[in-house]
Structure formats: structure tokens, C-alpha cells
């Protein structure tokens, strides 16, 4: 099992969005859910420590595998070197591949559902607001831009339309709480989603008022 100090070295020290403090929050939440739901805590711990270890920071995307694929591959190398069996490596790799909202692979095991939920709870609530703003700034996108009617309808931006933090709220964040998989995470998620919604609705209202 990777140690906390070993895992810390895989993440940027100064990244408020996908840095190690996010990983530690996901680890704590995943272990709490795993305890409550009787999951395999070893798989949970390894998956949480490794889930964003490769390619999660925004940058030139061309030719790079998506971060859930890159992190799953990296996890496979680390755990195989530690002597984990192929079956348990795959259990961890599946959790990591399926942890994204935009993942093509659905979480099909209890451990994968728990990692997904723990990761998503960190985009709701106060840390969710802070991280979404942080991500927009890292990606060179504005905090708020008026979404086009097409974006509101379909989630498809018009040419040249920025993907602001508010766009991310409309496209993804407002739906996250209802797409959590486990009951205890849903309860926490509903509470956190209230703050998230209030923040982004207020943001849009203030932007509109300022434009009068």
C-alpha cells in the first residue's frame, strides 16, 4: 500500500484543485463511506491515493490520454511493483477509470461507486465552489460568462463561447448530487448542493445586476 508521503510526491504541491489536499479529503470521505458500507478498504485507499496522480492538471490535451486513463495506468505500475495480484490491481484501476463525471466507464463495483461519490462530494459545498473557481482560473476561463441559449439547452457551447465556472455549474455541478451512487453520499451531497446552488445563482444575479 502506498504511504501518504509516497502519494504526496505524485501531486503538485501548490494546486488547489487537484493537489494533495483534494486527495486527502477524497481519501477520508471514501474511507468513511467504505466503513459504513462494508467495502474493501484496501482497494478504496489505494484508489483514492492514486485517482488523480497522472494528468489531472489542465494543459495541452492533444495526444494525452485522459487523466482517469493515465492515472489508472500509473496505479497499475505502482501496485504491480508492490506485488499486488492482477485481480486486485484491476479492482483499483476500475475505480480510477470510472471516477469521472464524464467517464465512459460506469462504476460497477461498490468500491468504484464509493470513490466516484467521495470525489464528487469534493465538487459540492464550500470546497466545490473554491475548486470550481480555481479550475476556471487554471484553465484561463472566466468565473462568469453569460451562457448562450444553445448552451443552456444542450450543454454545447457556441463558437468562441467561454466555459466559465458558471458554465461548469450549469453543465455538470448542478446535476452531481442527484447522480451519486450510495445512500450516505447522497445525504451529504444534498446538503452540500444547497450551498453550491445558492453561490452560483447569486453569482448570476449579481452579474446581471451589474450589467444594468
- Residue 119 binds to Fe ion (criterion: CB under 5 A): yes
Residue 3's Cα: distance from chain center in Å? 22
- Residues with Cβ within 8 Å of residue 203, at least 6 apart in sequence: 143, 144, 166
Q: Which residue, 84 or 117, is less far from Fe ion as judged by CB?
A: 117
**Separation CA 177–CA 199 (nearest Å):** 15
Cα first-last separation, the chain: 57
As given in the structure block, the three cell numbers for residue 95 are: 475505480
Q: Which stretch binds Fe ion (CB under 5 A): 86-94, 112-120, 128-136, 163-171?
A: 112-120
Q: Which residue, 44 or 145, is less far from Fe ion as judged by CB?
A: 44
**Separation CA 202–CA 196 (nearest Å):** 10
**Separation CA 183–CA 128 (nearest Å):** 20
Candidates 7, 52, 95, 113: give the one binding Fe ion (CB under 5 A).
52
- Residue 111 binds to Fe ion (criterion: CB under 5 A): no
Residue reference for cell 461548469 = 168
Rounded to a whole number of angstroms, the minimum distance from the CB of residue 96 to Fe ion is: 8
- Residue 117 binds to Fe ion (criterion: CB under 5 A): no
Q: Which stretch binds Fe ion (CB under 5 A): 44-52, 79-87, 174-182, 183-191?
A: 44-52
Rounded to a whole number of angstroms, the minimum distance from the CB of residue 153 to Fe ion is: 27
- Residues with Cβ within 8 Å of residue 90, at least 6 apart in sequence: none
Rounded to a whole number of angstroms, the minimum distance from the CB of residue 181 to Fe ion is: 16
Q: Which residue, 95 or 110, is less far from Fe ion as judged by CB?
A: 95
Q: Which residue, 11 or 144, is less far from Fe ion as judged by CB?
A: 11
**Separation CA 58–CA 75 (nearest Å):** 20
Q: Which stretch binds Fe ion (CB under 5 A): 83-91, 113-121, 124-132, 160-168?
A: 113-121
Q: Which stretch binds Fe ion (CB under 5 A): 49-57, 140-148, 186-194, 195-203?
A: 49-57
Distances (CA, A) of 107 to 4, 79, 95, 98, 159: 25, 20, 7, 5, 33
Q: Which residue, 98 or 203, is less far from Fe ion as judged by CB?
A: 98
Which residues of the chain form contacts with Fe ion (CB under 5 A)?
Answer: 52, 119
Amino acid at each position: 500500500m502506498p504511504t501518504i508521503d509516497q502519494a504526496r510526491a505524485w501531486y503538485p504541491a501548490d494546486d488547489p484543485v487537484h493537489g494533495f489536499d483534494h486527495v486527502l479529503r477524497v481519501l477520508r470521505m471514501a474511507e468513511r463511506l467504505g466503513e459504513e458500507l462494508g467495502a474493501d478498504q484496501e482497494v478504496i485507499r489505494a484508489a483514492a491515493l492514486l485517482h488523480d496522480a497522472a494528468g489531472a492538471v489542465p494543459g495541452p490535451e492533444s495526444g494525452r490520454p485522459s487523466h482517469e486513463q493515465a492515472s489508472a495506468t500509473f496505479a497499475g505500475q505502482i501496485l504491480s511493483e508492490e506485488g499486488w495480484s492482477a485481480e486486485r490491481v484491476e479492482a483499483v484501476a476500475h475505480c480510477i477509470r470510472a471516477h469521472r463525471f464524464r467517464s465512459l466507464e460506469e462504476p460497477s463495483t461498490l468500491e468504484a461507486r464509493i470513490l466516484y461519490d467521495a470525489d464528487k462530494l469534493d465538487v459540492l459545498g464550500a470546497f466545490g465552489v473554491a475548486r470550481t473557481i480555481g479550475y476556471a482560473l487554471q484553465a484561463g476561463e472566466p468565473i462568469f460568462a453569460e451562457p448562450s441559449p444553445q448552451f443552456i439547452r444542450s450543454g454545447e457551447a457556441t463558437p468562441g463561447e467561454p466555459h466559465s465556472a458558471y458554465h461548469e455549474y450549469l453543465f455538470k455541478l448542478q446535476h452531481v448530487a442527484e447522480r451519486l451512487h450510495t445512500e450516505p453520499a447522497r445525504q451529504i451531497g444534498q446538503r452540500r448542493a444547497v450551498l453550491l446552488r445558492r453561490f452560483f445563482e447569486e453569482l448570476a444575479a449579481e452579474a446581471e445586476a451589474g450589467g444594468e
